[in-house]
C-alpha cells in the first residue's frame, strides 16, 4: 500500500491516507465500471470510458428500466458485447465484481451515491455538482478519506492542457495581481411550461429515483430533465453548468476555502412556468482577507457575449485580463489598449479527465488527480451559498472553520435537508 499526506481545505485539517493497492493493470484485467444514471450525461460517460484501454463498462444502472435497457441495446450494438442492467443502485454497490462507479444521476443523489460507493469499497467519478447541499458535500469528503477511495469530480476543464496553462499564467503574474473572477453561464433555457401530476411510468421506480429527497407527486416538470429547476432535486443553472465555472473561479484565484460574505439577487422575469429556481441570478462572493472577489452571472435567454465568452470565466489583474471560453481555450489581453497576449485552444478534455481518474485509481495517489473530492465540495458549496443568499434575500456571512453561517440559524437550516429514510446521508459516515 502507498501512504501519503492529504490536505483537506476548509477545515484546515491534515489527514494521513494509506490507500489500498489497486487491481494490477493488464490487457485482461481492466477496471470493471458501472455507470449510474444513463438518461443524459451518463451517455457521455459510456462513450469516454469506451475509449480507455484500462476501463471496461460492465453495468448500466437507472431507475427507469426503459432507459437502461435502451442504453444496453445501444451498447451491445456499438461494442459487440452485452452489459448488465440494474434498476437499484444498491445492488451495484453489493456487486463484488464492480471496481468503480460513475455517477450521472440527478443532483440530489450525487453525494449519497458517492458515500455508499466509498463504503462498499468502490472508487468514484461523480458528476457536478458533487453535492446538493453543504452538509452532504462535507460528508462525501469524509467518506472518501475514511474508506481511502479515489473520488474524482466531473469538472473536466481541470484536465484541459489549455486551461492548466491559463492557470499557470495567473500564478506567474502574466496579467499582474489577479484580484477578481467572473463566472458566466449564459445558456439558452426556454420555458418548461406547466405540467400536471401523472402516474409514473411502469418502467420507472419512482421511489428509487426520488431517493433522499422528499417525495413529490410524479410530474413531467420533474422527470427526467426538468428537476434541475426544482429546489428539491436541483440547484438551478449555477449548480448545473455553473459548477465548472465556480470551480475555475476558485482555482484561478488560488482559493481553497469558501467565501466569508455572500450576496445574491435575481428572479424569474421571462416565463410563467413550473421552474422554481431563478432564471437570472447575480451573485457576489467576497474573500476580504485574501483581497479577492468572485462575481457570478446566470442568464437564460437573449444576451450579449463577453469578449466571446457565453459560458466561461474572466479573470481581472492589475496588468490585464484573461477570458476563458468553455472548457478548452483562453485569451489574454494586456494593458489599457487590450493588446493581445498568450492564447491557446485544445479539444474537449472529458476523456482525458476520465483517463486521469483511472491513472489515480491505479496509482492510489490522490495527488495524481486533477479533480479530487475537495474540488467537488468547494465548487458546489460556492453555488449552494449563493442560492441560499438568493432564497433568503439578504447578505450572509460564513464561517469556514465551522462551515456554518455567522449568527443566522435560518440560513444554517438550509445547509442540509430533511432526508427520506432509508436514503439518509449520515452524520457519521
Which residue segments constitute the domains of the chain, with CATH numbers given?
Answer: 158-193+223-349+381-410 (3.30.360.10)
Query: For the ranges 10-19, 340-349, 394-403, which has the lowest average pLDDT?
Result: 10-19
Mean pLDDT over residues 183-187, rounded? 98
pLDDT at 200: 97
pLDDT at 10: 32
Q: Is the pLDDT of residue 15 over 80?
A: no
Confidence label for 14 from pLDDT (cuts 50, 70 and 90): very low
pLDDT at 29: 85
Mean pLDDT over residues 173-199, rounded? 97
Tell me the CA distances in angstroms from 155 to 92, 122, 207, 236, 322, one per residue in order: 24, 20, 29, 17, 20
pLDDT digits (tens, 9 = 90+) for 249-261: 999 999 999 999 9
Class of residue 416 by CB neighbours under 10 A (exposed 0-12, middle 13-18, buried 19+): middle
User: Considering the chain, what is the average pLDDT of its residues?
Assistant: 94
pLDDT at 17: 42
Class of residue 221 by CB neighbours under 10 A (exposed 0-12, middle 13-18, buried 19+): buried
Confidence label for 100 from pLDDT (cuts 50, 70 and 90): very high
Mean pLDDT over residues 139-165, rounded? 98
Mean pLDDT over residues 30-41, rounded? 97
Phi-psi region of 6 (alpha: psi -120 to 50; beta: other; left: phi over 0): beta
Distance CA 295, CA 141 (A): 26
Tell me the angle at which helices 134-146 and 110-119 cross, rounded to the nearest 10 degrees.
20
Mean pLDDT over residues 156-162, rounded? 98
**What percentage of the chain reaches a pLDDT higher than 90?**
93
Distance CA 74, CA 67 (A): 11
Distance CA 152, CA 354 (A): 9
Q: Is the pLDDT of residue 20 over 80?
A: no
Q: Is the pLDDT of residue 415 over 50?
A: yes
Distance CA 223, CA 382 (A): 26
pLDDT digits (tens, 9 = 90+) for 112-139: 999 999 999 999 999 999 999 999 999 9
Cβ pair 420, 211 in contact under 8 A = yes
Q: What angle do CA 223, 225, 229 make, to 5 degrees?
A: 95
Q: Considering the entire predicted model, what is its pTM?
A: 0.94
Q: Is the pLDDT of residue 11 over 50?
A: no
Look up residue 75 and give its three cell numbers.
451498447
Mean pLDDT over residues 136-143, rounded? 98
Confidence label for 23 from pLDDT (cuts 50, 70 and 90): low
Mean pLDDT over residues 2-23, rounded? 38
Q: Is the pLDDT of residue 341 over 60?
A: yes
Confidence label for 22 from pLDDT (cuts 50, 70 and 90): low
Look up residue 417 and give its three cell numbers.
435537508
pLDDT digits (tens, 9 = 90+) for 62-91: 999 999 999 999 999 999 999 999 999 999
How big is the chain by its Cα radius of gyration, in Å? 21
Mean pLDDT over residues 1-7, rounded? 28
Query: Which residue shows C-alpha cell 444514471?
Result: 37
Q: Does residue 26 sit in helix, strand or coil?
A: coil
Amino acid at each position: 500500500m502507498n501512504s501519503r499526506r492529504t490536505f483537506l481545505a476548509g477545515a484546515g485539517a491534515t489527514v494521513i491516507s494509506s490507500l489500498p493497492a489497486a487491481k494490477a493493470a493488464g490487457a485482461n484485467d481492466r477496471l470493471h465500471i458501472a455507470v449510474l444514471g444513463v438518461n443524459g450525461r451518463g451517455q457521455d460517460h459510456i462513450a469516454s470510458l469506451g475509449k480507455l484501454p484500462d476501463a471496461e463498462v460492465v453495468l448500466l444502472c437507472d431507475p427507469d428500466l426503459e432507459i437502461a435497457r435502451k442504453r444496453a441495446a445501444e451498447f451491445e450494438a456499438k461494442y459487440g458485447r452485452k452489459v448488465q442492467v440494474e434498476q437499484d443502485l444498491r445492488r451495484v454497490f453489493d456487486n463484488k465484481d464492480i471496481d468503480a462507479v460513475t455517477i450521472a444521476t440527478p443532483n440530489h443523489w450525487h453525494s449519497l451515491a458517492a458515500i455508499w460507493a466509498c463504503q462498499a469499497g468502490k472508487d468514484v467519478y461523480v458528476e457536478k455538482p458533487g453535492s446538493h447541499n453543504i452538509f452532504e458535500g462535507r460528508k462525501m469528503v469524509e467518506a472518501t478519506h475514511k474508506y481511502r477511495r479515489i473520488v474524482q469530480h466531473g469538472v473536466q476543464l481541470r484536465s484541459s492542457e489549455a486551461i492548466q496553462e491559463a492557470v499557470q499564467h495567473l500564478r506567474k503574474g502574466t496579467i499582474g495581481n489577479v484580484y477578481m473572477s467572473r463566472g458566466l453561464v449564459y445558456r439558452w433555457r426556454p420555458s418548461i411550461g406547466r405540467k400536471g401530476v401523472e402516474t409514473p411510468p411502469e418502467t420507472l421506480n419512482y421511489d428509487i429515483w426520488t431517493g433522499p429527497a422528499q417525495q413529490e407527486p410524479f410530474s413531467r416538470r420533474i422527470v427526467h430533465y426538468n428537476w434541475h429547476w426544482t429546489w428539491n432535486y436541483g440547484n438551478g443553472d449555477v449548480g448545473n453548468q455553473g459548477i465548472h465555472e465556480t470551480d475555475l473561479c476558485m482555482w484561478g484565484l488560488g482559493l481553497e476555502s469558501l467565501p466569508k460574505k455572500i450576496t445574491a439577487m435575481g428572479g424569474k422575469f421571462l416565463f410563467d412556468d413550473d421552474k422554481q429556481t431563478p432564471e437570472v441570478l447575480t451573485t457576489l462572493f467576497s474573500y476580504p482577507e485574501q483581497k479577492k472577489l468572485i462575481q457570478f452571472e446566470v442568464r437564460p435567454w437573449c444576451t450579449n457575449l463577453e469578449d466571446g465568452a457565453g459560458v466561461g470565466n474572466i479573470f481581472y489583474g492589475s496588468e490585464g485580463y484573461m477570458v476563458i471560453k468553455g472548457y478548452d481555450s483562453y485569451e489574454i489581453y494586456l494593458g489599457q489598449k487590450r493588446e493581445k497576449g498568450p492564447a491557446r485552444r485544445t479539444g474537449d478534455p472529458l476523456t482525458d479527465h476520465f483517463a486521469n481518474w483511472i491513472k489515480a485509481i491505479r496509482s492510489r495517489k490522490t495527488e495524481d488527480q486533477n479533480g479530487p473530492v475537495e474540488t467537488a465540495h468547494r465548487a458546489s458549496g460556492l453555488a449552494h451559498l449563493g442560492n441560499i443568499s438568493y432564497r433568503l434575500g439578504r447578505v450572509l456571512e460564513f464561517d469556514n472553520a465551522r462551515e456554518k453561517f455567522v449568527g443566522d440559524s435560518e440560513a444554517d437550516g438550509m445547509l442540509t435537508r430533511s432526508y427520506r429514510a432509508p436514503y439518509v446521508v449520515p452524520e457519521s459516515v
